[in-house]
Structures are given as structure tokens and as C-alpha cells.
Structure 1
């Protein structure tokens, strides 16, 4: 197995952190940071310890080769049912959310999509729909695992899916995209783009030894084109919903960036690109500021905003969210806990402390490598889902605790982790049982099976 294949998730994480951190230091917030050395040391520590844990998971496994999948791959009945239910989840979530955010007709929907800036700010007056008390939303929250299944499953089984299932996948994704376009929010689009790109890349990487075809080359071109269009849409939306009165343009660094971009893309896209650069990297300012605050333990729930919100709603307990680093930073400064970003690390550090985050990154690296190895060797669909989840979390590590901010997302991640862990335990137990049987009855049962085997397979 190639070294680049084994290290793909590690390379992805290092690239995300390195690029966004470099962008931060050329952005408008860098001059205000006074503890850059400490923050840099922390981030380097996270990456190094993650790499150590990742490497340990591959000890003794570097010569393993994947079991080549069939073309088209086998599409298990259970996975087929899960994929169909994910269609239902996507469409129901999109339709109900669009209605909850105040859009009640096709005309209003079109206007919301055409005016992303107004839609983006208008949604805050509607409240967070996923945390409502309606039965439908609560069911969608509890079935949040279906949110993560559609894209990886479609990437893995596309060639084995019939025309009806392919059309269902396209309609489901389109409904979800329309919802996020109608609110002027790029988060959902970016999540899908990341999951899509990583899932397709992972499947192709596993099947690297298979012969290329014109159809696959065309599919790659289409994928790149779709991602490019999504990128242009995101930049244009940033430009449309931001004007020169934004705080992002009140520094000389931002103004100079706009001037530098304008000759190449024009003033409109130059403004969007400048905001996008500041947008994806400004979380490091929140991280640097949070590292100045004292540690207050949040009981292991501070990083799980989507779950901790249940505590005051149903149990009458104090939400540990209000003791997290980002919220306490908001209390002592103007840096909002929800309006801007502070990276994922202060959220995790609220439960683990910043040194604890460094140590925990080693455990995460080990787990990610094991999951990635499982997918490469066996083509496990659940392993691919977990890899796409890791990719989304890693891509948003410079922003926030993306995977655990919403109830359906937090519940979905935990559900998939539990199911995957149970499946691996079951697989290990079965393998151990088979080895014990083979070792204890080699002279009898195995010989008997060998003798009658050919006659049974007719």
C-alpha cells in the first residue's frame, strides 16, 4: 500500500491547519494577537501528537493490501435501506426548515436565494429551528445519523444504484442545497462539498489499481466542475452579503487585499475573496484570546453544544455551554461566541484543557488511522462515513466545533461511532471464535469440512 494512501487523512488535516493559519497571519486580525508564539506551539503540538498516534496505528500493517471491490460493487440490502431513509431525512429537513424560516411560496423562495445578504440576517430573527419542540424536528434530530450517510453511500455505491435511486439522491441533495441557499448560509453547502469530495477521492484511492476509463475521467471533470461552481457561489455570496461598512474592511490590511485582488477578478469578487480569507482564518484570533483565560471545567459536555442544550430544556440543569472558553471570552471582550469563530480547540479545551487537547489529539490520530485502514482494506461503508465526518470536522477545525453544534449532527456522529464500534467488536469476536475453532478441531471438523465442501457447493 502506497505511503501517500496511508497518510491521506493526516495530510488533509495538516494542509487545512497550515493553510488557514498562514492566511490568518496575512489577514486583518493578526496585528492584535499578542501571544502568537504560544498559539503556534499549541497547534504544532496538536499536529505532531496526532501524527504520532496516527503512525502507531499503522505499525505492522504497512504491507496490507485492499481487497479489490467489484465493479459495480455489491450493494447490501441494509445499506440500500439506509440510503433510502436518508433521502426522506434530507427532503423532510429541507422542506420543514424552509417553512420554519419564513418562506411559504416559490416566489419567496426565489427572492430569498437571489438576496443572500438579507436572507442571512433575516434567519437570526427566526430562531434555531433544529432546537424546537415540534415532534417532527425532534424525530429528525434523533435520526441525525441519516444526515451523514447519503453522500458517502452514494459515492461508494453509485455504480450499483439503479436510475431511481440516483434520481432520489440528486433530488435529496438539491432540496438540502436550496434550503441553505435560501438562508444565505454556506455552512451546509461546504459540508456537502467536503463530504462529497473526500468520499469520491477515498473510493477512487482505494480502487487506484483498477483500470481507468473515459467515463471515470469525465466523472472526475464533472466533480471538479461542481466544486468550482460551489466555490464561485460561496465567494459571490460573501460579496453580496457584505458591504464596506463591515468590520472586516476597517483595517488597512483588508483594504490592501481588496486592491490586490481587484485587477484579477474585479471589485465585486475581490471583496468576496477578501472576506472569505478573513472568514476562514479569523477563528485563530478567538483561539489566541481564549488561551489567555483560566481553565473552567465544563463536565465533559462543553464541547457538545448540540447535546448540552437538552439539559436545561428537559432536566432543568445549568447548561455547561455558558462556562466554555468562547462564552467566557464573549463576557470579557467583544468577541462573540456564536457570531464569530474561535476554532474547535477552545470548545474541546473547555472539557480537556489545552494541554489535554494536545494529548487527546494522539488518541484521535490513532482512531482515524484505524478507521481509514479498515476502509482501504475492506471497503466498509461505515468506515467511509466516519472518514467523511472526520474530513468535515478537520476542515472546520479553524472555525468551530462544527460536528457537535447542532442536535441532529451531534446525535448523528455519536450514533455512527457507537454502531461502528459495536460492528468492529462483533467482527473481532467472530474472528477470534473462528481462530479458536480452527485451532481446537484441526484434525476433525476442518478435515471433515474440506471433504464435504465440494459436494455442498453445486
Structure 2
């Protein structure tokens, strides 16, 4: 079993670092010519950060990590599914000013849905957004575990569980469509893929091989490709709707722009628009990072890594807290921190300075690697959730500190991290039961 895990031990690291390297390549060699003046400094910092992630993950994946069983997985699953379904109604009202059954009004124009959501957030006519946010945060840990727990315990689901799972997924899709946003569906797809990888890794650890025929592998790849194409098409359609077409694309208002001739074929035009949108989403943050690297450090008392903490606690600790953060300095340099991304690094650097960021990333990567080992070798479902949250953080490294943006993911990630850390070590009996169950 140890030999089997040895071949899988660094797989998430290879995928994660390759993804980060590709985003850096898109920034420097993509369709936009970014006006940066500190290329060498930027590349050295990114190299140090990726290297520290690699070292941290390698050490974490070799560590003796927690791996106790979570016996209450079904309770958490059902509570999360019921909460997700129930919260759909007040959530759509609070965030969009509409009820879920009004979805027909937004299906035809996702750009309009997004703009209407922005208006509704500013007006807050329902007056319940604060309470909805608190409720979503309180049930966030359980809502997040629904998809992973259903996949990891698929054979043990009952009829009522399948019904709750179906309604949970429908609730996520409706909420995403009502808001005209992509994060919900992207996270859903990402969590499904990540959990399937954990399950397959567990099976390979038990048997030394994957129990999938060529037909099943082909079916899975076909399903994944279909879902990805649909998600990409919806993504591009939403952006075109927001921007009024695909004739031109600009980032940071008019900081960098890409235009196309009118005689260009629709297929080429859409493909270029998709590449530009992909570059803007996955690489624009490096420009904000370049601005931050040229700014002076002012300590933010350990709160600067989270906009939620700055907003809620800033006035009670230091009224100039936001002004001390790198985000304020990036904003002052002309890069709007409310509408543009600057990677995760300036958020962390506001608390520890840029020299300390690689060390923070190494600690995070240690948890990432340890939770991967725990979720596969020890069969820890709580470890699997920590691993998935770690993967989400890696996914959003070129954008922001996603897990600390709002109270809901912040509380949920901390909840499962503490649950995992306090779960204890797997006993020999529980380990045998886990491998026996998965071996069957």
C-alpha cells in the first residue's frame, strides 16, 4: 500500500504547480502586453513562492497526519443538503431581489442577471442580507461537505440521500443562474473532480490498480469533456453578455486591450475572446502583484489577509487599517482592488510582508500535502475536505485569497481544519475496516 501511495504522493503538487506555471506563461506570453517595470523582481518572487509550495507539500505528504474516522458523516451530509435547499429562497431574495421560481426571467440574459444582482446588493431592499450571510456561514461547513461525502460514501447512500443530493445540486445551479455568476458552478465542478480523484486514489491504494475498464474510463472522460464544454460555453456567453459582444476585450478599463477585425470569422473571434477571457481571469492578478511589490510595507495586525476581517474589525482596531494594506496601495496606483485581482500574495503580504509570504505558502502547502495523505492513506473524510479547500485555494492563487474573502468559506475552512486536526490518529482496527470496506 505504501508503494502505491508513493506513486500518487506528489500528483496534486504536479497538477497545481503546472497550473500556476501556465497562468504565469499566459501573463507574460498571452494576448495582452502588460505595462510592468519590475519583471525580474516579479519572476523571482513567483519562483520563490512556487518553490516553497513544492517543499511544503513534499514534507506534508511524508508527515504523520491525523486520520480519525468521521462517524457523523451522514448527519453532516443531510444537514448540509437540507440547509442548502432551505437557504436558496432567502439567499436569492437577499442577493437578487427575486425568488427562485423567477429563474425564467434571467435565463436568457446572464449579463442582465449579474447587473441586477449588483443593483440589488446596493439597495438591499429585503433588509435580510446580513442575516442570510450569517446563516450561510453557520451552515457553510455542512453545505460544503454534501458533494464530497456523497461521492466518498456513495455505496452507503439511501434513497432519501439521493433525493437530497439532487435537490442540493439544483439549488447550487439555480443560485448561480439567478446571480449570473460562475463561481458556484466552477467550484461545484472542481469539488466533484477533486473528490473523484480522492476516491480513485483510495481504491488504487487498496488494490494496487484502478477498478475501471476502458469503457468506464472513456465514459468518464466523455462526461467530463461534455460538462467542461457546457461550462466554458456558459462562461463565455455570460462574459459576452456583460461586455456587449466579443469585438474587443479590455482589462482594467483600458489598461490593456485586444481588438479584432470585423472580417474575422465568428469561430475565430469567439476562440480569441475565450483565450482573452481565460487570460484575464487566470493571469491579470500578476499585474496587481507587480504594483504591490513596488509598494512599502505597513503591518495590518494580522487582519490584512481577509477583506471580511478588514471590513468588520478595521474600525474597532485601527481606522486606517485598509489604508495600511497592500490592496489600498494597489488601488491608489490605479488598479481597482474591488473589480480587479492581484493574486493571493498581496493579501498575505499585508500581514507578514513579501519576504514572509513564501514561508506562509510553505506552511499552507504542508497542510495541503498532509491532508492529501490523510484523505487517501487513512481514509479521513475530514482530511478530504481540508484537501479540497487547499485545492480551491491553489486554484484561486492567481486571483485572490478566496477562502478568506467572506465569512462563509473562511469559517467553513477553519471548521474542517480544526475537525481534522483534532480527529486523532487512525487506529489499526479502523484502518483495517477502511481498507476492507473500500476493497469490497
Alignment pair present for 1:138 and 2:134: yes
Unaligned runs of 5+ in 1: 68-74, 432-458
The offset of 1:127, in angstroms, is 2.4
Matches within 5 A, 1:49-448: 49-59=52-62, 78-105=72-99, 108-127=102-121, 134-208=130-204, 209-213=209-213, 218-243=219-244, 244=247, 247-248=250-251, 254-255=258-259, 263=265, 265-268=267-270, 270-311=272-313, 318=319, 320-330=321-331, 332-424=332-424, 427=425
CA distance in structure 1 between the aligned counterparts of 2:144 and 2:323, rounded to whole angstroms:
28
Q: Residues 202 and 259 (structure 1 numbering): CA distance in 2 closer, same or farther, change over 3 Å? A: farther
Matches within 5 A, 1:12-51: 12-27=15-30, 29-51=32-54
CA distance in structure 2 between the aligned counterparts of 1:308 and 1:132, rounded to whole angstroms:
22
Confirm or deny: 8 A CA contact 2:96 2:116 kept in the other structure: no
Unaligned runs of 5+ in 2: 429-440
Confirm or deny: 8 A CA contact 1:375 1:381 kept in the other structure: yes
Confirm or deny: 8 A CA contact 1:55 1:366 kept in the other structure: yes
Confirm or deny: 8 A CA contact 2:152 2:195 kept in the other structure: yes
Q: Residues 124 and 10 (structure 1 numbering): CA distance in 2 closer, same or farther, change over 3 Å? A: same
Q: Which moved more, 1:223-232 or 1:400-409?
A: 223-232
The offset of 1:253, in angstroms, is 6.3
SS at match of 1:247: strand
**TM-score relative to the length of structure 1:** 0.81
Confirm or deny: 8 A CA contact 2:292 2:330 kept in the other structure: yes
Q: Residues 136 and 11 (structure 1 numbering): CA distance in 2 closer, same or farther, change over 3 Å? A: same
Q: Residues 307 and 417 (structure 1 numbering): CA distance in 2 closer, same or farther, change over 3 Å? A: farther
**TM-score relative to the length of structure 2:** 0.84
Q: Residues 135 and 316 (structure 1 numbering): CA distance in 2 closer, same or farther, change over 3 Å? A: farther
The offset of 1:211, in angstroms, is 2.5
Q: Which moved more, 1:279-288 or 1:2-11?
A: 2-11
Q: Which moved more, 1:77-86 or 1:109-118?
A: 109-118
CA distance in structure 2 between the aligned counterparts of 1:106 and 1:373, rounded to whole angstroms:
40
The offset of 1:31, in angstroms, is 3.3
SS at match of 1:114: coil
CA distance in structure 1 between the aligned counterparts of 2:63 and 2:414, rounded to whole angstroms:
29
Confirm or deny: 8 A CA contact 1:29 1:285 kept in the other structure: no
Deviations 1:123-175 (A, max 9, x none): 22222789966444323222321232122112211232123312311211221
Q: Which has the larger radius of gyration?
A: 1
The offset of 1:356, in angstroms, is 0.4
CA distance in structure 1 between the aligned counterparts of 2:201 and 2:278, rounded to whole angstroms:
30
Query: How many pairs are equivalent?
Result: 413
Residue 8 of structure 2 aligns with which residue? Answer: 5
Confirm or deny: 8 A CA contact 2:31 2:258 kept in the other structure: yes
Q: Which moved more, 1:141-150 or 1:180-189?
A: 141-150
Q: Which moved more, 1:341-350 or 1:275-284?
A: 275-284
The offset of 1:245, in angstroms, is 6.5
